[in-house]
């Protein structure tokens, strides 16, 4: 087990690693880079005399890596890193510093509307096992990531949606709702323009997009037939169609779904989206 000092940090910040994780691997992990850079810029703001902690500023002293999970064979791609950061102010004390590090992601509120009834809305959802929630069939809006190369919504949910209903979501068809919402509230701290589900323990931030499309009634009915019956195939993710009116009731255990509803409803009411 090794430790090293973070480059370019004064005072010194020692990082204690675990076995099977090298300094290079940790420093190359995008989530670690982003978290550390955001934290450092937030700590730096304490130098301003109007900052709440200006008198007794907090300082990053130490980082202890506790566990790592690889997405694939060890050494391939880091998935999750669990760490403890020691951020301390003399004489005030320490801040809670447990971090479950996993980086950002995106989610899409996918709405289809029949041309013959524009007030009717259907939402494309995913239903899948979520072991942390103790569920084999958790309902959510599709989650994944933006592929920088193809500029499309990507990941296991996106793949299943493409297979089931033949839809690929291109970046230019998506409205970034979280960005619109935080527009008037720029973060002086360089936080992401996204929704943080659990900022007390996790670095995760989720950009919530809207994809809304009009379709012929026949296309909508075809979707219903395909997606509203019993699950027959042993797919890990099942694509579902849900009436928008039931979104809170059926999707309400999923924070992303509630957040997407909030953003969509508010943006609609203020006419930022039609």
Partner 1 sequence: MSTFILPNSSPECQRSLATQISAEHTFHTSPYRLRKIEVQVVDYFGKGRIGFLKLQTDVSNDDGEKLPGCVFMRGGSVGMLVILQPDDIPPGTETEKQVILTIQPRIAAGSLSFSEIPAGMLDDSGTFSGGAAKEIQEETGLQVQESELIDMTALALSDSPTQEGEENLQQGVYPSPGGCDEYIPLFLYEKRIPRSQMREFQGKLTGLREEGERITLKLVRLERLWGEGARDGKTLAAWALYSGLKGEGKI
Name which of residues 129 to 188 contact partner 1 (CB under 8 A): 129-140, 143, 178, 181-185, 187
Query: Which one, 186 or 217, has the nearer CB to partner 1?
Result: 186
Query: Which one, 97 or 165, has the nearer CB to partner 1?
Result: 97
Rounded to an integer, what is the distance from CA 42 to the centroid of its chain? 21
Question: Taking CB under 8 A as the criterion, which residues in 205-224 touch partner 1?
Answer: 205-206
Note whether 79 binds partner 1 by CB under 8 A. yes
Torsional class of 95: left (φ above 0), alpha (ψ -120 to 50), beta (otherwise): beta
Query: Residue-wise over 191-220: b if at least 16 C-beta within 10 A, else e?
Result: ebbbbeeeeeebbbbbbbbbbbeeeeeeeb
In contact, 210 and 175? CB cutoff 8 Å: yes
Q: Identify any residues that bridge with 175 across adjacent strands, giving them in sequence order.
A: 210
Question: Taking CB under 8 A as the criterion, which residues in 253-272 touch partner 1?
Answer: 253-256, 258-259, 261-263, 265-266
In contact, 57 and 43? CB cutoff 8 Å: yes
Helix axes 156-165, 217-227, angle to 10 degrees: 120
CB of 216 to partner 1, least distance (A): 28
Binder of partner 1 out of 1, 249, 271, 274 (CB under 8 A): 249
Binder of partner 1 out of 4, 23, 27, 38 (CB under 8 A): 38
Nearest to 32 by CA among 70, 79, 74: 79
CB of 102 to partner 1, least distance (A): 6
CB of 217 to partner 1, least distance (A): 26
128, 131, 134, 140: CA torsion to nearest 10: -30
Q: Identify any residues that bridge with 213 across adjacent strands, giving them in sequence order.
A: 112
How many chain residues bind partner 1 (CB under 8 A)?
A: 96
Query: Which one, 11 or 200, has the nearer CB to partner 1?
Result: 200
CB of 35 to partner 1, least distance (A): 5
Note whether 104 binds partner 1 by CB under 8 A. no
Note whether 233 binds partner 1 by CB under 8 A. yes
Q: Both tokens of residue 72?
A: 């694939």
CB of 168 to partner 1, least distance (A): 22
Question: Taking CB under 8 A as the criterion, which residues in 3-22 touch partner 1?
Answer: none
Q: Identify any residues that bridge with 170 across adjacent strands, giving them in sequence order.
A: 152
Piece of 6-14, 127-135, 160-168, 210-218 that binds partner 1 (CB under 8 A): 127-135
Note whether 199 binds partner 1 by CB under 8 A. yes
Query: Which one, 189 or 216, has the nearer CB to partner 1?
Result: 189
3-state secondary structure of 59: strand
Note whether 46 binds partner 1 by CB under 8 A. yes
């Amino acid at each position: 087990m090794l430790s090293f000092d973070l480059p370019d940090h004064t005072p010194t910040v020692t990082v204690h690693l675990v076995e099977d994780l090298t300094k290079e691997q940790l420093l190359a992990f995008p989530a670690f880079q982003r978290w550390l850079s955001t934290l450092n810029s937030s700590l730096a703001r304490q130098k301003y005399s109007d900052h709440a902690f200006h008198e007794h500023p907090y300082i990053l002293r130490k980082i202890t890596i506790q566990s790592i999970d690889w997405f694939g064979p060890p050494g391939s791609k880091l998935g999750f890193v669990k760490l403890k950061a020691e951020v301390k102010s003399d004489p005030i004390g320490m801040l809670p510093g447990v971090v479950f590090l996993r980086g950002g992601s995106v989610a899409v509120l996918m709405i289809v509307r029949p041309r013959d009834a524009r007030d009717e809305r259907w939402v494309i959802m995913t239903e899948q096992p979520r072991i942390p929630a103790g569920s084999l069939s958790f309902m959510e809006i599709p989650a994944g990531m933006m592929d920088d190369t193809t500029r499309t919504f990507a990941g296991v949910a996106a793949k299943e949606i493409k297979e089931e209903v033949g839809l690929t979501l291109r970046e230019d068809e998506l409205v970034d709702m979280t960005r619109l919402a935080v527009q008037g509230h720029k973060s002086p701290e360089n936080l992401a323009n996204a929704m943080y589900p659990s900022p007390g323990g996790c670095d995760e931030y989720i950009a919530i997009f809207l994809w809304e499309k009009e379709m012929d009634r026949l296309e909508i009915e075809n979707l219903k037939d395909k997606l509203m019956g019993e699950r027959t195939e042993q797919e890990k993710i099942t694509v579902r169609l849900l009436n928008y009116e039931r979104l809170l009731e059926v999707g309400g255990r999923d924070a992303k779904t509630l957040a997407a509803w909030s953003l969509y409803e508010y943006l609609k009411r203020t006419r930022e989206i039609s």
